[in-house]
Amino acid sequence: RPLVIEEVAPRPVQPHEVEPVADSRKGVPLRSGCPARILWHCYFRPGASGLYPAWEWSFLGLYWRQAQMSARETVLVTAAAGATGLAMIDVATNILQAKVIAAAGSDEKCQLAMQRGAQSSVNYSRGSLKEAVGKLVGSGGVNVVVDMVGGDVFLEALRRMVVIGFAGGTIASVPANLLLLKNVTVMGLYWGRYRHQNFPIFSRSLSSAL
């Protein structure tokens, strides 16, 4: 089908809709001869470009590869009110039927995450994230952590973890003895690299999001 370019009137952008990713493939006219395998048909609607890459990260990180979550497990999502955090909540709650604890740095952000489907929330600017989560789930802790903050939040939340970013500004180091004693796994997720190194997985995550 021919590519139709439409002009859409702008609207105010909310803080959680801002995506801090500079990507040359977003909103750029395609040259003749573009490989068909990197094109996906998507029903047009304003804001559809926001699917990329937040929801793809979510499908890949929670289900297809990294965490491999199952229904009824509990996931802790840090920076939960951001674009990727809200996508994680959406996929975990509505697709995987998992329980979500949203962690954010203000009451307003926690409220937004709850409105989007999280079952409970923690404001980690008020004290220990570990203690607050422990009160919600008990000594067994959560099953999976998706961390986009880094620093002290990363160390407090150490579990079966998927690392996506370092919004807190500090890249934490993990003592190997903690991985051994806690029997936990820490996995990184750089979704864009899958396009070149494992295209079938890249394609599957994008198709799932669409």
Q: Please report, for the domain that includes residue 96, its CATH number.
A: 3.40.50.720
Per-residue pLDDT, 45 = 56
Higher pLDDT, 187 or 41: 187
Q: Which domain holds residue 126?
A: 53-188
Is position 34 within any domain? no
Is position 206 within any domain? no
State pTM to two decimals: 0.68
- Name the nearest CA neighbour of 119 among 100, 136, 138, 105: 100
Per-residue pLDDT, 48 = 54
Q: Can you tell me whether residue 207 is helix, strand or coil?
A: helix
Per-residue pLDDT, 20 = 43
Per-residue confidence at 184, pLDDT binned at 50, 70, 90?
A: confident
- Checking if the pLDDT of 208 tops 70, the result is no
Is position 203 within any domain? no
Is position 18 within any domain? no
Per-residue pLDDT, 23 = 46
Per-residue pLDDT, 13 = 63
Q: What's the total number of domains in the chain? A: 1
Q: List own/partner pairs for 125-131 with CB under 8 A and 24 or more apart.
A: 128/156, 129/78, 129/103, 129/153, 129/156, 129/157, 130/156, 130/157
Q: Is 129 exposed, middle or buried (0-12, 13-18, 19+ CB in 10 A)?
A: buried
Is position 38 within any domain? no
Per-residue pLDDT, 38 = 60
Q: At what angle do helices 199-209 and 51-59 cross, to 10 degrees?
A: 110
Is position 28 within any domain? no
For the ranges 3-17, 22-36, 98-112, 167-181, which has the lowest average pLDDT?
22-36
Mean pLDDT of 108-133: 94
